[in-house]
Amino acid sequence: SFSPSDSKFASCSDDGTIKIWDFYRCQEERTLRGHGADVKCVHWHPQKGLVISGSKDNQQPVKLWDPKTGNSLATIHAHKSTVMDVKWNQNGNWFVTASRDHLLKLFDIRQLSSEVQVFRGHKKESSSVAWHPIHEGLFCSGGSDGAILFWHVGAEKEVGAIEQAHDSIVWTLAWHPMGHILCSGSNDHTSKFWTRNRPGDSMRDKYNLNTLPAVPGSAEEHEIDDFSVIPGMGPEDKVEVVCSVDSTAPGLVGGTGGIPGLEEMDLNDEKNKAHAKKVPYSKPIPRNFQAQWNDTGKLDDQEQQPGVKLVKELEPEALYIYGKVLPVEPGTPLAKAISEGGERLVRYVNSGAIKELRDVIPHYENDDGTVLPNVESDSDDTKSVSIINRIFTVPW
């Protein structure tokens, strides 16, 4: 599973470990240890430096990790059997787990004392899960019997199903970014792409004749309600939308068990404690996690490519500008401009203060046709920004 900036990724193994890798350098950064059995799945948070994993370990089935330090942040006792898959929702608050106990469970990171909702419908083990990229509350799951079910947060039962999508266990599911195509991969050695039938389409699914019926005749003769579709693949979805941003999800009430700092909660409220479910102790999140969670200036794991430096970090002995080599001596205005960054360097080069460049520096005109003087100014010169592409460091 890749990080939000694609500079790192996490992998899991049957050896019980999770490894964090640097994609740019192609090397291992650290190993996360804590599961007592095979780790079946791992997923990186869509916005933050937070990794979640699912395991065969019944004592520690789901764990949250800090990929920077390798520390375990919390353990969630979600299932009594192997957790086959776990996925974050794009809203960053929800994640859903799929287990061999036939259940799917929805959790909210702001309230980890109990699940938000339990989804029952798989006749055998649930093996994979995928959130819809457009509809926040919609997701699909695959089972060991080859079935694919569609669910919506707040709905008690599945909102759609493809009973015999595959002849064997469905290992993985993935939506097209636009949400109109679903791809499934199975142990029957096939990958299938699913989409809704269009009005007037006479073709039927070879394996699911009664699941996705097409309507004969022209599209004008039938309303949208006259034919069935795969949930999430068109505007026909009429399941009530559940939003997690400004409202509380069904079954999610204020109480204990969330990550400290993500919302205001009274952890000493005895009344709330009395109604809380008795669950095994989960390690609390460190206090400094709030600062990391609320830091939205840039992605947690974002960094420059190896070998790339900012202009102000350079200490060149010479610059090649407009076909001329200019020596850079310490303490000179040119060296000072370099130390102050690229924007300052561009303004200085275009100011006309460098004698060697006065015959090649372009002169700009005002809207009235008058020539702008080449004098250094503290104001931003938006017309000279493109010239930075013509400034290079000369290897010495």
Which pTM does this prediction carry? 0.56
pLDDT per residue as tens digits for the range 77-129: 888 888 999 999 998 899 999 998 889 999 988 888 888 999 998 988 999 99
Distance spanning both ends of the chain, measured CA to CA = 42
Query: Phi then psi for 48, rounded to 5 degrees?
Result: -120, 170
Query: Phi then psi for 131, rounded to 5 degrees?
Result: -80, 145
CATH of 8-294, one of 2.130.10.10, 2.60.40.3710, 3.40.50.150, 3.30.70.1430: 2.130.10.10
- What span, in angstroms and rounded, lies between the C-alpha atoms of 192 and 334? 61
How many Cβ atoms are within 10 Å of 350's Cβ, its own excluded? Answer: 24
Question: Quick one: DSSP state of residue 236?
Answer: T
Percent of the chain exceeding pLDDT 90 equals 22
pLDDT score of 285: 53
pLDDT score of 283: 52
- What span, in angstroms and rounded, lies between the C-alpha atoms of 230 and 246? 28
pLDDT per residue as tens digits for the range 2-59: 988 888 999 999 888 999 999 988 888 888 888 888 899 999 999 888 999 998 887 7
Q: Which residues contact 21 (CB under 8 A, 6 or more apart)?
A: 8, 9, 10, 11, 27, 28, 29
- What span, in angstroms and rounded, lies between the C-alpha atoms of 197 and 95? 30
Burial class (CB in 10 A: 0-12, 13-18, 19+), 269: middle
Write out the H or E segment, with its range, that includes residue 85.
Answer: strand 83-88
| Nearest Cα residue to 102 out of 117, 115, 118, 116 | 118
Residues of the chain with CATH 2.130.10.10: 8-294
Angle at 125 between CA 124 and CA 128, to 5 degrees: 130
- Answer for the pair 83, 97: CB distance below 8 angstroms, yes or no: yes
For the chain, how many helices (H) and strands (E)? 4, 21
pLDDT score of 374: 46
Distance of CA 108 to the CA centre of its chain: 16
pLDDT score of 166: 93
- Answer for the pair 319, 326: CB distance below 8 angstroms, yes or no: yes
- What span, in angstroms and rounded, lies between the C-alpha atoms of 71 and 84? 22
pLDDT score of 37: 87
pLDDT values of the chain reduced to their tens digit, one per residue, 396 residues: 998 888 899 999 988 899 999 998 888 888 888 888 889 999 999 988 899 999 888 777 888 888 888 888 888 888 888 899 999 999 889 999 999 888 999 998 888 888 899 999 898 899 999 999 989 899 999 999 999 999 999 988 999 899 889 999 999 999 998 888 999 999 999 999 998 766 655 544 444 444 444 434 433 333 334 334 567 666 444 445 455 544 444 444 444 444 443 444 343 444 444 444 444 555 555 555 555 555 544 555 555 555 555 555 667 788 877 778 888 888 888 888 888 877 788 788 877 788 888 777 655 444 454 545 444 444 444 333 333 334 444 443
